[in-house]
A = this chain, B = another copy of it.
Amino acid sequence: MPGEPRLSTSLSFLAPLQDDIRAVEGMMLAQMEGHHADLRNALDLILKSGGKRIRTSLTLLSGRTFGADPQRLKTLAAAIELLHTATLVHDDLIDGSLLRRGLPTLNSQWSPGATVLTGDFLFARAAVLAADTESIPVIRQFAHVLGVIVNGEITQLFASRCKASRDDYYERIYAKTASLFETSTWSAAVIGGAEAPAVEAMRNYGYQVGMAFQIIDDILDFTSDAAQMGKPVGSDLRQGLVTLPCLYYLEDHTADPDVQPLFQGRCLSDEQLSRVVASIRESHAIERSYQEAERFVHLGLESLRSVPPSPERSALEELADYIVARKL
């Protein structure tokens, strides 16, 4: 699999972003210049493995809504995408993942030390780009959200294994995804000089859409086939992560003998796992999870309606709808 295509090449409402997205990728790569050659190769590999550049799209569209300076906006987008990339590099190392989106992870080719340091270097250069926005509130939020993301991962590592809790789940997907989505839309509005209520509306749009995005990811972990995802079906649950489809399934199937350990915070056996993953795929829990994602998107769209209509606002609306409809 050659990595997934950028959204902008497949979704017509993102076509106007194509050039800027390419420019943002160029800014990311430029951060590697003048440093150890393998760093550029590493980032090249990571960028080629695709990623939908959804954070970049959100940032660019949100900023353009308020007429943000294009150069600062692209710098912000590159900072956010590079921060996201850095967290993925360390994530893959910690999970021992050898594939991401069907392509080899850095972790599968490099020593742990080199992988840790590459992630660190990406953090460093993301911070340089953030500083280049020259907005103290944006820089502060940037540093803050990195703490939120990492704290979420630490909590997941120490405390969330095989624990079936809605509160924990929402906290986790906020830390993992929605926090950086809201940082993207909020920061872009700040760079664009939007008024406080509009900045808050954009933050909330990013938050809601981010929550929905992660729920859909967690649904696809059950419903996609392994080849599409580049990882086994039900991989979250196999790693002891109880996501929304499983939480709904537990609500509706309290008597299923296979899920009993989860009610006591214990992990499932391999046989139980296979049966439960298959049961969840067939169950109403998938539909309920979609409805929950739609509820978040609906709240995001409601927020968005408070900013004046524009082609960019329309594209953000379509992007929100796409997020629930996507199959990958």
Interface residues of A (CB under 8 A from B): 35-36, 38-39, 90, 93-94, 111-114, 116-121, 123-125, 127-128, 130-132, 134, 136, 139-140, 142-144, 146-147, 149-151, 153-155, 157-159
A150→B94 contact, CB < 8 A? no
A154–B35 CA distance with the chains assembled, in angstroms: 9
The dominant DSSP class at the A interface is: helix
**Nearest residue in B to A121 (C-beta to C-beta)?**
B150
> B residues within 8 A CB of A120?
90, 119, 123, 146, 150
Report the minimum CB–CB distance from A93 to chain B (whole Å). 7
For A123, A132, A146, the residue with the greatest tally of chain B CB atoms inside 10 Å of its CB is A123
Given the known A-B contacts A36-B158, A38-B154, are A123 and B146 also in contact in the complex, defined by CB atoms under 8 Å?
yes
A-B contact list, 6 entries, CB within 8 Å: A90-B120, A93-B113, A94-B113, A114-B154, A121-B147, A124-B144
Report the minimum CB–CB distance from A80 to chain B (whole Å). 14
Query: 10 more A-B contacts (CB under 8 A) besides A93-B116, A123-B123, A132-B140?
Result: A39-B151, A90-B120, A114-B157, A117-B154, A121-B150, A121-B151, A124-B149, A128-B140, A128-B143, A131-B140
> B residues within 8 A CB of A143?
124-125, 127-128, 130-131
A157→B117 contact, CB < 8 A? yes
> B residues within 8 A CB of A121?
147, 150-151, 154
The 8 Å CB contact of A144, one of B128, B154, B157, is: B128
Report the minimum CB–CB distance from A45 to chain B (whole Å). 15
For A36, A117, A128, A132, the residue with the greatest tally of chain B CB atoms inside 10 Å of its CB is A117
> B residues within 8 A CB of A146?
120, 123-124, 127
B124→A150 contact, CB < 8 A? yes
> B residues within 8 A CB of A94?
112-113, 116-117
A147–B43 CA distance with the chains assembled, in angstroms: 15
**Nearest residue in B to A136 (C-beta to C-beta)?**
B134
> B residues within 8 A CB of A113?
93-94, 157
**Nearest residue in B to A123 (C-beta to C-beta)?**
B123
> B residues within 8 A CB of A116?
90, 93-94, 116, 119
